Amino acid sequence: MPLWTGRFKKTLDKKTNDFNSSIPFDCRMAEQDIRGSVAHATMLGKQGIIDKGESEKIVASLKEIAAEIESGELPIDMTAEDIHTFVEGELTRRIGDSGKRLHTARSRNDQVALDLRLYLLDESEKLEKSITDLVRVIVNKAKENYDAVMPGYTHLQRAQPITFGHHLMAYASMLMRDLDRLSDCKKRMAVSPLGSGALAGTTYPLDREYVAGLLGLSGVSDNSLDGVSDRDYVLELLSTLSIVMVHLSRFAEEIIMWCSWEFKFIELDDAFSTGSSIMPQKKNPDIAELVRGKSGRVFGDLMTLLTAMKGIPLAYNKDMQEDKEAVFDAVDTVLMCVDTFAPMLETARVLKENMRNAAAKGFINATDCADYLVYKGLPFRDAYKATGELVALCIDKGLTLETLPIAEYKKVCDIFDTDVYEAIDLDNCVKKRTVKGGPSPECVLREIEAMEKKLDERK
């Protein structure tokens, strides 16, 4: 039975009931709904708005209901309108009139806003843990490969030499910012809207701060209209999760490339790759591809809610019920992606030799060759031009800068001497890039150390 039967002479049409109902998806907030009701009932008793004994009875019964739902003893009735209706109905079935007093000074509008905040706070913690675990996997992988020379790319063209450790740590930085964004979202999420009522507050002498305190929230909303109709905390979380998926998707794309025969920089463990039904030789990076593909779902979830929210007048409108499926899907998707990505990366075999060989081709030490001339006094533009000529010469002769004879160097620019070979040596080129944030093995170790410190501080 819905909560709003008094005014109506007919029950809701069956299909319409299904259309209107949110219990198939909001049932996952049962624990948070009950936790919120326990705090509300406790406050009602403390303020003398309902009898203390009745408040205690409500709290005890709510706790029983929570335990029974948790154990599976009490199945959730999927014909109820929503989880709030179901819990209140069950409470009243158990303790009669006392149960009917729970909803005093409350509306489902402030109730659902609270439940979703509590639920998403819990999920945010899971997300933080999963993302932190992934960052740790990345950091460990970077440690194992802090001096593995590889080509760095721009425009997917070999550009300058870097280390694999450095490349990996770029993703650690991105995910660390995601963690910071999550922490920031949580601040605005941890606000209690209870007391906003349906839209216009209530006439009862509530102690809103007390309820917030019981729930571990940091404060209460300032405006009752905003309290019930604010979904910024959902949008902020969805935006953050969309950015997480941008990062994972880029990483996935690189893993897919690195697994190809064209690169062969890494090999995924059999437990994280799949085969082809027709081509016996295939070992496919399906998991990385799925992560890349699933990013679209999460962006779609963000669009769903942005669109749902943009045109609705204050305060609550039923459109807002659409927030849940969108954000639940985004949270589930991100958790699944992160939790699969971490072991896939952890078990991947890094083929350092292949990375190094790729770095030895493509003239990725050309900038270092130009820098060599600059250190000897030539203006950078002239050095750049001379090196460009040398590269063209090498391509003509089928040589590399390492194998081009010194006589040829001197023909282009007489400043060159035999120490140029040391200056353009791949290892030296990487080692010299010691500017803070640079790819030299020494810098990568410092970057790793700083990241580990940040991870420890987050605990």
Q: Does 106 bind ligand ARG (CB under 6 A)?
A: no
Nearest distance from residue 332's CB to ligand ARG, in Å?
A: 18
* Per-residue buried b or exposed e for 12-51, using 16+ beta carbons within 10 Å of the residue's own CB: eeeeeeeeebbbeebbebbbbbbbbbbbbbbbbbeeebbe
**List of residues 6+ apart from 456 with CB closer than 8 A:** none
H helix runs in 72-100, sequence order? 83-95, 97-100
Q: Does 163 bind ligand ARG (CB under 6 A)?
A: no
Select from 175, 266, 288, 320 the one that contacts ligand ARG (CB under 6 A). 320
For ligand ARG, the closer of residues 82 and 123 by Cβ is 82
Q: Does 308 bind ligand ARG (CB under 6 A)?
A: no
For ligand ARG, the closer of residues 266 and 327 by Cβ is 327
> Which residue is associated with the tokens 């030895």?
360
Angstrom distance (rounded) from CA 412 to CA 160: 22
| CA–centroid distance for 71 within its chain | 30
Select from 171, 316, 409, 416 the one that contacts ligand ARG (CB under 6 A). 316
For ligand ARG, the closer of residues 115 and 254 by Cβ is 115
| CA–centroid distance for 271 within its chain | 24
Residues in binding contact with ligand ARG, number by CB under 6 A: 10
Nearest distance from residue 98's CB to ligand ARG, in Å?
A: 23
Q: Would you call the peptide bond into 113 cis, given omega within 30 degrees of 0 as the criterion?
A: no
Q: Does 112 bind ligand ARG (CB under 6 A)?
A: yes
Nearest distance from residue 213's CB to ligand ARG, in Å?
A: 25
Select from 109, 192, 273, 295 the one that contacts ligand ARG (CB under 6 A). 109
| Residues classed as catalytic | 155, 276
Binding region for ligand ARG (CB under 6 A) out of 71-79, 106-114, 139-147, 432-440:
106-114
Angstrom distance (rounded) from CA 203 to CA 443: 63
Burial of 291: CB neighbours in 10 Å, binned 0-12, 13-18, 19+: buried
How far, CA to CA in Å, does 365 sit from each of 48, 103, 160? 78, 72, 6
Select from 40, 108, 141, 208 the one that contacts ligand ARG (CB under 6 A). 108
Which residues are near ligand ARG by CB under 6 A?
22, 26, 82, 108-109, 112, 316, 318, 320-321
